[in-house]
Chains A and B, each alone.
Chain A
Amino acid sequence: QVQLVQSGAEVKKPGASVRVSCKTSGYTFTRNWIHWVRQAPGQGLEWMGIINPNGGATMYAQKFQGRVTVTRDTTTSTVHMELRSLRSDDTAIYYCARDHSNEMVVWWLDPWGQGTLVTVSS
């Protein structure tokens, strides 16, 4: 079955960088884009960015432009998300999710990774 398995929890100091990985399996890696979504404690879901594993093209939310980079490794079917210049308000659970679209009028995410808690604290 399709699975997205993320790397483990991280604790970082303000100003540092974090890299979260999302290893995919059970489907052809290059067929579906992968999104990154985060959720701060007690808050809603926030879309961060997307990568097309077939070629590596990316799009990012304006809020994270210049601070986030999403890459992919086709040899391991893994997507990585790096967030730099971390602040305390970057403390959140970070999720990857597999993208689907039907005729470009409906978009859905399924499945999701289990989430990775990133804690930013001095």
Chain B
Amino acid sequence: DTAVSQTPKYLVTQMGNDKSIKCEQNLGHDTMYWYKQDSKKFLKIMFSYNNKELIINETVPNRFSPKSPDKAHLNLHINSLELGDSAVYFCASSPYWGVGSGGDTDTQYFGPGTRLTVL
């Protein structure tokens, strides 16, 4: 009964390849996110989807393309992988997209992460 799950946990690939990371949440949340954690542990938002609609795209190269087939899933596809893409990618979800809603709506729940290594 994992709340936010990601697959795979580890991904090792060559430069130039295309790869996907999958994320699923069973919390019934409306909003999902992708974050990137670099080698210095710094975390930065990449994308956010609310009910399958793209809400946030933080100047991420267009080699990265998120896809949300339904509100419980948010996948991340990366084309033409580069060395600099090596990082840990975290998926997260939160109950609701709405500023000032109070309560638990802005609390985000994170998946276990996918460590991507590009050789």
Q: Are these two chains actual partners, yes or no? A: no
Interface residues of B (CB under 8 A from A): none
Interface residues of A (CB under 8 A from B): none
